[in-house]
Amino acid sequence: MQAPLKIKVVTFDLDNTLWDVEPALLRAEDAQRQWLLNNRPGTMENYEHDALWEFKKSVWRRHPHLTHQISKLRIQLLFELQLAAGYAEDQARQGAEAAFTVFLEQRHAVVLYEEALGVLECLAADYTLGALTNGNADIYKTDAAEYFDFAFLAEEIGVSKPAPDMFHAALERAGVLPGEIVHVGDNPEHDIAGARAVGMRTIWMNARAASWPGGERADREICNLAQLPQAISSITDQ
């Protein structure tokens, strides 16, 4: 059997791969809500959780072209919520941008897994590192920024993982063969199936000890980033 190609590049999903995203998302939603309560009274007060969810779904349905543009979609939602509350269009437009800004500030304030920085520093000495996210997190706003050579967001590329576009962008940027990249991510479909479909090697980051949902498994599985360097070298050494 032909030996596997040597891994030269490691690409990472971000949310729930390098950090737990839930605390940052909750803080971000809170900050956005607080901004609206303070600056656009009447916008949020009348919505129970379910009613807000229905409103969100109606925005998604009416703007299918924003499916992969999650920031624009959120701004549209904020805009329409204020219009529905009776604010004028320019006020609603301005309020949507301002509320989104406070949301994003907290969304970017993620706390990396404890072992992440040490592992990334060690990997960056041997591999090119890249980030591929469907979310609106920015690796360059975290303490891990210095270890990353490139980062692509679904909203820049125009389509989310598992579509091949973001993986192709990484291949082009890194200038390597698919078999020379290993992609690390927590989502079996977006990360593992998506990366495998373009010929990359894959590592499932399963920090929550989930069971594999079925289908072809990743090349390796880890439950803590500390296991990653060994998992990557074992792919090449097999």
Residues at the site binding Mg ion, with contacts judged by CB under 5 A: 13, 15-16, 186
Which of residues 19 and 100 has its CB atom nearest to Mg ion in the complex?
Answer: 19
Which of residues 97 and 189 has its CB atom nearest to Mg ion in the complex?
Answer: 189
In 3D space, the residue among 79, 100, 78 whose CA is nearest the CA of residue 90 turns out to be: 79
SS3 of 237, please?
helix
Q: Minimum distance from CB of 17 to Mg ion (Å)? A: 5
Which of residues 15 and 180 has its CB atom nearest to Mg ion in the complex?
Answer: 15
What beta strand segments (E) does 92-226 contain?
Answer: 128-133, 150-153, 181-185, 201-205, 220-222
Q: Minimum distance from CB of 202 to Mg ion (Å)? A: 13
Residues 6 or more apart in contact with residue 57 via CB below 8 angstroms:
none
Which of residues 82 and 142 has its CB atom nearest to Mg ion in the complex?
Answer: 142
Q: Minimum distance from CB of 205 to Mg ion (Å)? A: 8
Which of residues 186 and 219 has its CB atom nearest to Mg ion in the complex?
Answer: 186
Q: Minimum distance from CB of 31 to Mg ion (Å)? A: 22
**Phi/psi at 158 (nearest 5 deg)?**
100, -10
Q: Minimum distance from CB of 22 to Mg ion (Å)? A: 11
Strand order in the sheet with 128-133: 150-153, 128-133, 9-12, 181-185, 201-205, 220-222
SS3 of 130, please?
strand
